[in-house]
Structure 1
Amino acid sequence: MQPIKFHTSGRLKRLKRAATYVNLRRKRFVALLVTLAHIAGALTSVQAVMETRTAQGAIAWAVSLNTIPYAAVPAYWAFGRTKFQGYVKKRQEQIDETSPVVRHFIDLASEKQFLVPSRPREAPLLERLTNLPATVGNHVELLRNGEEIFPSIFQGLEQAQDYLLVQFYIVRDDFLGRELQSRLIHAAQRGVRVKFLYDEIGCYQLPRSYLDGLREGGVKVNAFNSTQGRANPFQINFRNHRKIVVVDGRHAWVGGANVGDEYLGLHPRLSPWVDTMVRVTGPAVQAIQVPFLEDWYWASGDLLDLDWTPQGASNGTSKTVFILPTGPADRFETCALYFLHAINSATHRFWIASPYFVPDEQIVSALQLAALRGVDVRILVPEDCDNRLVRLSGWSYVASLEKAGVKVYRFINGFLHHKVMLVDDATAAVGTANFDNRSFRLNFEITLEVQDEDFAGEIEELFLENFADSRLSSALELEERSFPFRLAVRIARLMSPIQ
């Protein structure tokens, strides 16, 4: 019997032809994707060249977008743009709604003689930057660390009768966060109108159940939602970093503290957590309501009905206060210009504390010039930091600053998180803005500046205590570190625009 032969040659040929066809299609598909990626990179590089703020940045983006578009294109759309175009457009649309409210407040403040009668030299500049006036008749109380900050805020929440405006960058579902939640719900249940605004990037770990609990308790909740709008789905680089609490248009809190147990000294590594806020009473409270009004309108489309009639502080103090809300939707780089003006106006002292120190070249030059003209320039930063990239890049500035006489102090007794500034003997500021590119150009911030020698004296005392818990840094320290560390410092410096 002859063995059975299976004629498989034809089938193998067909299978080979099919495999060749599949491979050819796969190669064509990959080639198409590569071509589209390079086209997208080329088109995006045109936008980068047209819109990037500095020549160096434009060159860096153009090269990377055309050489490695697969990584650079999504990176540019997420981190490369420094103008929040969706917000700018919608903010222009809301001017007709919000401007009359702000104008009404300014008219009332003028009528009640709360505007500065003889304005200091810098007042016109700051008022033009922010479109908000400096006011007198304010009381400002300095609050230090969580044990002073949150009891003060919680007491204010309990005293609310009409409305509460609460805005934080980070809120955690921990002991302190749940305490805030409970008090907001309690206020809503007794008839207070409670508005809670949070940044969805800063609160990415906040569970939905926390927000649902607020809503079920009668609190109106909105995320700032920087990505809303058809043209802005990738704008995750913009954050609302403001921390604001307003009670009935009569009391307000502004400063660096978020809501989390670390602010009570419970962080496993970065403790104690050093921070500062201020409690404000007087016509400046209405000015603090303005950025909340605009942020809420952006997030919800609702124009809040608030009390815009200013009242003087009941204790008879009369501090001059500027409120400076800043952000990427401003006509100018308001935050950077404000700090640049403060440095340039210093005659004998400029001290600033910031957990994140990543300035740009114009700020570095201003600090150098101030020191060279004899100003006592001191920068206070934490020794340890919750952001390794920021900590590394901060080292890259020490040598150039030290050469001009700028002193850089590193706080060694915990994590220094407050954002505080002292200029000469009568100007002090507390706010949310860090001394870095993100706060200068990418974040929505709020800073409160006080023109008052007594308050400046309190800030001076705060600084002196911080300096006592710090060590003077030097460029020699970096030179003595290992090559991998110094290389990491330089790489971190290159990434500073998105930190």
Structure 2
Amino acid sequence: MQPDTSSSTSARWEAPDTGNDLHEMRGPVALPPGFEAFCHALYQSTRLRLEPGHRVELVKNGVIFEQICETIRQATESVHILVFIWRPSEPSDRIVEALCERARAGVACRVIVDPVGSEEVNGEHDFNPRVEKRLREGGVEVHYFRPLSGRWLGRLFGRTHHKLVIVDGKVGFTGGFGIWKSWQGDGQCPEEWRDTNVRVEGPTVREMQLAFARSWQECGGALLPESCFPRIPRGGDAHATFVESAGVSGISDAERMLRMVFAAARERLWISNAYFTPPNAILEQLLEKRKQGVDVRVLAAGPVHDWRIVRASQRATYEKLLEGGIRIWEYQPSMLHSKTVLADDWLSVVGSTNMDALSLHRMREGSLVVADRRLASHLEEAWSQDMTCAEEITLQRRGRTNPWRRFARRVTQLLAADR
């Protein structure tokens, strides 16, 4: 089916006319088709290559805690956790118990928590002191990432949004999960968020370990021993790499990665994202992919949302996207917290990276990029399931922009003002 381009010529977002467009990365990325072309583009953009020999498994919703605890209990060398949200809860109790048991057995257990993400919520006590005390008493070393005391203004947005668990330097978990009650269950009621994660074995676990190590140093931790970076034999069919990104003035590695993945799509580009309010250049690239005949779809968070202004900003993008032929759904039963991309039938992205200015330009993020038809098939199945719980948005049904949405869009884009 040919794309509807009748209204797409006007599908551009307002941006200051600086006269510098010729000198900035704004237009669609031209990329030859195929795996090799994508690998070269990703390497040229992020210095990372898709390496062969990985096993990657999709892990949805509350199952993530079962898998993390099971893997921790098999650890013989080290367990490393770097997480944005960790709050007292039943999932926290399970992970604390597993960590302390391994620490007593002589396994080095190290934890980094972001104090902003793990703050007090709705009157419940935060990570410090309830969880921290139990971990320290159990032999787990704990550090906070960039405490705000006395320096909150310069550090407020420079948080780590990573969700990483690395066991023995050989098995890694990443995705959208936090260690709290919201990630229990199956994403079918308001109290249980819908999220997507991955478990990975293979060479790129070293890159995940490196992301932890760099943050560990910054938090005051000692250098990790060489044994934390074992040589991992290739044992699976998937090609993968872990793309870490940090706040920069300009285009981050997270945005570079997304732009290359979008450019690689020839048949379909399905995006599921909790905070879908990307910069204008990405929105324009999505419209261009639709003009090229690519089936572009967006699954966004719906009525259950933790940030009202972000949802309004998200909805400010709908009108032009819909006019350009892009289809949009909103997830209904609970907060959609996934951060995934599916391109064609072979390329997937799963990680912590939201498509908003905060993730793309201020926070530390990480996403696993995977070339594997099996994982892509499983991600497609997850999409099909989510569609049964989603409402499609049209221009006649909640797709029009209003003054509140335009205002919210401007506010949420301020964090990218130095682009």
Tell me the TM-score normalised to structure 1 length: 0.71
Residue type of the alignment partner of 2:223 = L
1:371 lines up with 2:290 in the alignment:
yes
CA distance 1:467–1:253, shift in 2 (3 Å): same
From 171, 174, 184, the counterpart of 1:264:
184
From 382, 387, 403, the counterpart of 2:307:
387
Q: Deviations over 1:220-257 (max 9, x none)?
A: 111111659x9885320122010111111111111111
Question: Does the Cα contact within 8 Å between 1:167 and 1:196 map onto a contact in 2?
Answer: yes
From 131, 149, 162, the counterpart of 1:210:
131
Residue type of the alignment partner of 2:275 = Y
Question: Does the Cα contact within 8 Å between 1:367 and 1:377 map onto a contact in 2?
Answer: yes
Q: CA deviation at 1:124?
A: 3.0
From 115, 123, 142, the counterpart of 1:221:
142
In 1, the alpha carbon distance for the partners of 2:237 and 2:311 equals 40
Q: CA deviation at 1:123?
A: 1.9
1:183 lines up with 2:94 in the alignment:
no
Question: Does the Cα contact within 8 Å between 1:438 and 1:498 map onto a contact in 2?
Answer: no
1:124 lines up with 2:40 in the alignment:
yes
Moved more, 257-266 or 433-442: 257-266
Where in structure 2 are the equivalents of 1:30-69 lying within 5 Å?
56=16
In 1, the alpha carbon distance for the partners of 2:261 and 2:188 equals 36
- Hey, what does 1:76 align to over in structure 2? none
From 67, 73, 93, the counterpart of 1:152:
67
In 2, the alpha carbon distance for the partners of 1:320 and 1:267 equals 29
1:289 lines up with 2:209 in the alignment:
yes
Where in structure 2 are the equivalents of 1:471-482 lying within 5 Å?
471-478=391-398
Higher relative contact order, chain-length normalized (CA < 8 Å, sep 6+): 2
1:487 lines up with 2:400 in the alignment:
no
Residue type of the alignment partner of 2:320 = S
Q: CA deviation at 1:119?
A: 7.1
In 2, the alpha carbon distance for the partners of 1:301 and 1:406 equals 47
- Hey, what does 1:444 align to over in structure 2? 364
Q: Deviations over 1:166-213 (max 9, x none)?
A: 111101111211222222122111111011011111012223232122
Question: Does the Cα contact within 8 Å between 2:51 and 2:241 map onto a contact in 1?
Answer: yes
**After TM superposition, what 4+ stretches of structure 1 lie above 6 angstroms from structure 2?**
266-269
Aligned residues between the structures: 379
Question: Does the Cα contact within 8 Å between 1:226 and 1:239 map onto a contact in 2?
Answer: no
From 105, 110, 120, the counterpart of 1:195:
110
Moved more, 274-283 or 209-218: 209-218
Question: Does the Cα contact within 8 Å between 1:282 and 1:310 map onto a contact in 2?
Answer: no
Residue type of the alignment partner of 2:262 = I
- Hey, what does 1:423 align to over in structure 2? 343
- Hey, what does 2:324 align to over in structure 1? 404
SS, match of residue 317 in structure 1: coil
SS, match of residue 273 in structure 1: coil
Q: CA deviation at 1:133?
A: 3.6
CA distance 1:134–1:265, shift in 2 (3 Å): same
Q: CA deviation at 1:477?
A: 3.1
Question: Does the Cα contact within 8 Å between 2:55 and 2:200 map onto a contact in 1?
Answer: yes
Q: Deviations over 1:108-127 (max 9, x none)?
A: xxxxxxxxxx9721223323
Tell me the TM-score normalised to structure 2 length: 0.84
- Hey, what does 2:259 align to over in structure 1? 340
Q: CA deviation at 1:479?
A: 7.1
Gaps of 5+ in 1: 1-53, 59-117
In 2, the alpha carbon distance for the partners of 1:267 and 1:139 equals 25
Instruction: Indicate the percent of aligned positions where both proteins have the same amino acid.
Output: 26
Q: Deviations over 1:386-410 (max 9, x none)?
A: 1111111111111100111011111
SS, match of residue 80 in structure 2: strand
Q: CA RMSD in A?
A: 2.6
Moved more, 211-220 or 302-311: 302-311
Moved more, 317-326 or 302-311: 302-311
- Hey, what does 2:230 align to over in structure 1? 309
Q: CA deviation at 1:265?
A: 3.6
In 2, the alpha carbon distance for the partners of 1:266 and 1:134 equals 31
Moved more, 260-269 or 283-292: 260-269
State which structure, 1 or 2, has the greater radius of gyration over its C-alpha atoms: 1
1:244 lines up with 2:167 in the alignment:
no
CA distance 1:303–1:233, shift in 2 (3 Å): farther
Question: Does the Cα contact within 8 Å between 1:354 and 1:435 map onto a contact in 2?
Answer: yes
SS, match of residue 396 in structure 2: helix
In 2, the alpha carbon distance for the partners of 1:318 and 1:478 equals 43
In 2, the alpha carbon distance for the partners of 1:267 and 1:374 equals 32
Q: CA deviation at 1:298?
A: 1.3
Q: Deviations over 1:15-74 (max 9, x none)?
A: xxxxxxxxxxxxxxxxxxxxxxxxxxxxxxxxxxxxxxx98599xxxxxxxxxxxxxxxx
Residue type of the alignment partner of 2:325 = G
- Hey, what does 1:174 align to over in structure 2? 89
Residue type of the alignment partner of 2:110 = K
SS, match of residue 155 in structure 2: coil
- Hey, what does 1:318 align to over in structure 2? 237
- Hey, what does 1:143 align to over in structure 2? 59
CA distance 1:245–1:441, shift in 2 (3 Å): same
Q: Deviations over 1:233-288 (max 9, x none)?
A: 53201220101111111111111110111111499972442111111112121121
CA distance 1:255–1:364, shift in 2 (3 Å): same
Residue type of the alignment partner of 1:492 = A
In 2, the alpha carbon distance for the partners of 1:144 and 1:329 equals 31
